[in-house]
Structure 1
Amino acid sequence: MELLLPVTLDEVAAVWLSAEIHSNRFGATVDSMLQRDGLPAALLTNPDLTDERANAARLGLLREYRGFDQADTSLETYIGGLPVRDLDWWRVRITAADVARLHYINWGYWVEVTGGTRLPATFASAKPAEPEEIEVVYFPLRDAFVAGAEVPEIILVDSGPDTRIVILEGHVRATAMAMASADLKERTALLGRSHVVAEQWFY
Structure 2
Amino acid sequence: MKIIRTSSPDEAVLVWLQAELKSKRFQNDLQKSLDKYGLSAQIITNPDLSDNSENSLRLKILKDYRDWFEDNIYAYDWKLVELEVDDVKALRYIDYSYWSELSDDTHLVGVAAKNVERGKVVFDVSNAHFFDIAKAVEAGTQFAPIVVLEREQGLEIAEGHARATGYLLADSPTEQLQAIVGSPIS
Match for residue 72 of structure 2 among 65, 83, 107: 83
User: How far off is 1:141 after superposition?
Assistant: 0.9
For the Cα contact (< 8 Å) 1:103–1:165, is it kept in 2?
yes
For the Cα contact (< 8 Å) 2:3–2:79, is it kept in 1?
yes
Match for residue 154 of structure 1 among 146, 159, 182: 146
Corresponding residue of 1:187? 177
Corresponding residue of 1:121? 110
> Counterparts of 2:157 and 2:77 in 1: how far apart (Å)?
16
User: How far off is 1:154 after superposition?
Assistant: 0.6
1:102 aligns with 2:91: yes
Deviation digits for residues 13-64 of structure 1, max 9, x if unmatched? Answer: 1111111122233211111222233322121123221233322211111122
Structure 2 counterpart of 1:185, which letter? E
Secondary structure in 1 matching 2:87? helix
Unmatched segments (≥5 aa) in structure 1: 68-76, 197-203
User: How far off is 1:128 after superposition?
Assistant: 2.7
Deviation digits for residues 80-108 of structure 1, max 9, x if unmatched? Answer: 1x232111111011121211111111333
Match for residue 127 of structure 2 among 134, 152, 170: 134
- TM-score w.r.t. the length of structure 1 is 0.79
For the Cα contact (< 8 Å) 2:33–2:65, is it kept in 1?
no
> Counterparts of 1:141 and 1:123 in 2: how far apart (Å)?
15
Secondary structure in 1 matching 2:157? strand
Corresponding residue of 1:74? none
User: How far off is 1:195 after superposition?
Assistant: 7.2
- The structure-2 alpha-carbon separation of the partners of 1:35 and 1:128, relative to structure 1 and needing over 3 Å to count, comes to same
Unmatched segments (≥5 aa) in structure 2: none
31-40 or 55-64: bigger deviation: 31-40
For the Cα contact (< 8 Å) 2:140–2:175, is it kept in 1?
yes
- The structure-2 alpha-carbon separation of the partners of 1:194 and 1:149, relative to structure 1 and needing over 3 Å to count, comes to same
The higher-RCO structure (CA 8 Å, 6+ apart) is 2
For the Cα contact (< 8 Å) 1:147–1:185, is it kept in 2?
no
For the Cα contact (< 8 Å) 1:121–1:179, is it kept in 2?
no
Secondary structure in 1 matching 2:112? helix
The RMSD of aligned alpha carbons is: 2.3
- TM-score w.r.t. the length of structure 2 is 0.86
